[in-house]
Structure 1
Amino acid sequence: MSDQEDILATAAGWLAEGETVALATVVETWGSSPRPAGSQLAVTAGGRLAGSVSGGCIEGAVADAARKTMETGAPQLLDFGISDERAWEVGLACGGKLKVFVEKLA
C-alpha cells in the first residue's frame, strides 16, 4: 500500500468512526517545493492529522483552511509561494510554490 493509499484509508476509517474529515491535496508545484503534486493531508474536525503536504512548513495553515472547509462545505484552492506574505508567516521560504486543494469528504 502506498503512502497516499494509507492516508485515504485513514481518512475512510475516520469517516466510518463518524468524524468530519477534509482532504488536502498538492495539485501544483514549482521550484523547490517541499512535497510533490499528489501529496495529501487528511484532517479531522477533532484535530487528527495524517500525511503531509509540505514536510511541516505550511501544515498549520492548511489544517486551519481544512477546518473552515469542514464548517462551510466549500472547497478551497490555497496558493503558497515565496512572493506571498503568508509564505513567510508559515515558514515556506524555500523559494518554491505550491497549490493545495482542500475538500470536505462525505
Structure 2
Amino acid sequence: MTDNMSIDASAFASRDDVLGTAEAWLQEGRKVALATVVKTWGSSPRPVGSRLVVDADGAMVGSVSGGCIEGAVIKEAFEVMDGAAAHLLDFGVSDEQAWDVGLACGGQVQVWVERLEG
C-alpha cells in the first residue's frame, strides 16, 4: 500500500460510477480490486450492493461502510491485487475486529473482495 492514497471526491459514488471507474482503470492497465457489500444485519452503514473500487496506487471510488471498516477492506483489496484469493470479510459487533475497525453501530456486514481482470 502506498502513502499517497487518495479518495475520489465522490466517495459515495453510484454503483454505475464505481463499475465505470473500475473498467476505465482496467483499460489503463492498472491492478484493480472491487469490494461489494453482500449481506447486512441490523444497523449497517451501507446497503447490500454498495461497492468500493481500489487500485494498486491507493486511488479509490465508492464506499462499503461510510468509513468505519474501509481501512480493513482496503487492506484486503491490496492483498487480492497482490495475488491472494478473492474472499468474504465479516464484520459485526460480536466480532472483536469490528470494534478494532470502528464498526460500533450495532450492525453486521459481509463484504466480498475480489481482483478484477481486464
Q: TM-score range by the shorter chain?
A: over 0.9
**What pairs with 1:3-82 in structure 2 (closer than 5 Å)?**
3-82=14-93
SS in 1 for 2:82: helix
Structure 2's unaligned 5+ residue stretches are 1-12
Deviations along 1:6-42, one digit per CA (max 9) or x if unpaired, are 0000011111111100000000000000000000000
Q: How much is the aligned-residue C-alpha RMSD, in angstroms?
A: 1.0
Give the drift of 1:79: 0.1
Letter in 2 for 1:74: A
Give the drift of 1:82: 0.2
TM-score by length of 2: 0.87
Seq. identity, %: 62
Q: Find the aligned partners of 2:83 and 2:94 in 1 and give their Cα distance.
A: 28
Aligned residues: 105
Deviations along 1:24-75, one digit per CA (max 9) or x if unpaired, are 0000000000000000000111101100000011101000000001111410
Letter in 1 for 2:39: E
Structure 1's unaligned 5+ residue stretches are none
Partner of 2:8: none
